[in-house]
Structure 1
Amino acid sequence: MDEKISLLETKLQNTEKEVLELRSLTGGTPRVAFSAALRESGSGDTGPFNTATPLKYRRVFSNTGSSYNPSTGIFTAVVKGMYFFRFSMFNNLRSVPSSVVSLMKNSERLTSVWDTSGSDSNDMGSNAVVILLEVGDNVYVELQANRIVYDDGMNYNTFSGFLLFTV
């Protein structure tokens, strides 16, 4: 039994050293970053929906810290800090409906991108914010009611974010 305890103590000391070494490499700062595109594959419209609906960005390029959930389309802050978010929107030529997407924080609209149909064949827009988030705050991109976005496999519709610094 003494031999097992001694072995476990040695393993614990080695683990503590590894944790300290990893903290020194990262500065002890959580690493939070994600980037995703709307469609995993294929082409077509997303929407229209009868009510405003969070977009689910299914093709995840990166998700360090696992704060973005592709099943819901929602990013949840795991640490209080200043974050950067960016999203893009693409609309194919349509007479109706047009495209309106908004970046939301806990059901509050932060910023939007809007496009109406016109004589051109398609339009694209993007927007970004830097915001303070508390632990548990949610950020997502919402497609407004009776609107659409389009993608043809080129990943025009994206949603990305990362932690700038903790506060």
Structure 2
Amino acid sequence: MEARLAASEEVNQQNAAKRTAMEARLAASEKVNRQNAANLAQLSSVEMRLNLSESRVEQLADKNEAQLSGVEMRANLSESRLEQLAKKNEAKLAQLSSVEMRLNQSVSRVEQLARENADQPKVAFSAYHLGAGYIGPYSSLTTLVYQRVFSNIGNAYNQSTGFFHAASRGVYFFTFTAATYGSPQSMNIYMYKNNQQLIRNYGQNNHGGFEYMSNAVVVELELGDTVDLRLQGHSSYRLYDSSHNHNTFSGFLLYPL
């Protein structure tokens, strides 16, 4: 009996030990299950966050792709605009080059004309009669001497003789104004080239005040040709002058030949 009781107690002890071991294993298993559950919950949270991140990444990718597409479109438009501007600038440069060429030609022509003009003789004069009162009458056809000059470029007009001397072959312009005063008075003026009459002008004063007449010619002259004004010789033909210079004789070279 004692042996069997001892064996029974030993069995009970073994069973208690086994139960304790089982309880320990169960506790460990429950702990692992709780840890796994926590890990699963954490894993689920991470997975959810990962899914949200992936969704956000996709949204950002779509947004970036849309922005990139917009930037690319703007870049294409900019390139197209640049090409248009480049073509327009090329056209303007070509036009500017043409204008510059024409300007250079004009400058060259102006310089050429300036050189030609510098080589051409410069002749111009304007003379007036000296003194106050009547000029004439003369007994014969007499050259009028205009003793003072407003200008005498080229010194072609002789103030002592009243003759203009052509310094070169060319086309010349001459004009005069004559005046008389009082009634009855008459004027009979001739313009001569050398000893050849060019024009004759007659005027009569019947009103007692100033009477004027004028005329002009364009004439071709050779080197050394002369031009002068002459008053017809007659007792009734005379001019009148004063400090206002009513009587003038002028001329200039239009162009050489």
What's the TM-score, normalizing by structure 2? 0.53
Q: Which amino acid aligns with 2:240?
A: Y
CA contact (8 A) 1:35 1:61 kept: yes
Aligned counterpart for 2:202 among listed residues 114, 126, 141:
114
TM-superposition CA deviations, 1:63-97 (whole Å, max 9, x none): 1111100100000101000000001100101325x
Matched, 1:152 2:242: yes
Residues 23-52 of structure 1: CA deviation (Å, up to 9, x unaligned): 83843100011000011xx41011011110
4+ residue runs over 3 A deviation = none
Equivalence map 1:23-42=2 (5 Å) = 24=115, 26-39=117-130, 42=131
Residue 103 in 1 paired to residue 103 in 2?
no
User: Greater helix share, 1 or 2?
Assistant: 2
Contact 2:190 2:231 in 1 (8 A): yes
Q: Aligned partners of 2:207 and 2:125: how far apart in 1? A: 35
May I ask how many residue pairs the two structures share in their alignment?
A: 142
1:61 aligns with 2:150: yes
Residue in 1 that maps onto 2:60:
none
Equivalent pair of 2:180/2:210 in contact (CA under 8 Å): yes
Unmatched 5+ residue regions in structure 2? 1-113
Task: Report the AA paired with residue 111 of structure 1.
Answer: I
Structure 2: distance between partners of 1:89 and 1:164: 23
Give the number of the structure whose alpha-carbon radius of gyration is greater.
Answer: 2
Aligned residue for 1:24, secondary structure, equals helix
Report the aligned-residue RMSD: 1.5
Higher relative contact order (CA 8 A, sep 6+): 1
| Percentage of matched positions with identical amino acids | 41
Partner of 1:136: 224
Relative to structure 1, the CA distance from residue 62 to residue 90 in structure 2 (aligned partners, 3 Å threshold; closer, same or farther) is same
Higher strand share: 1
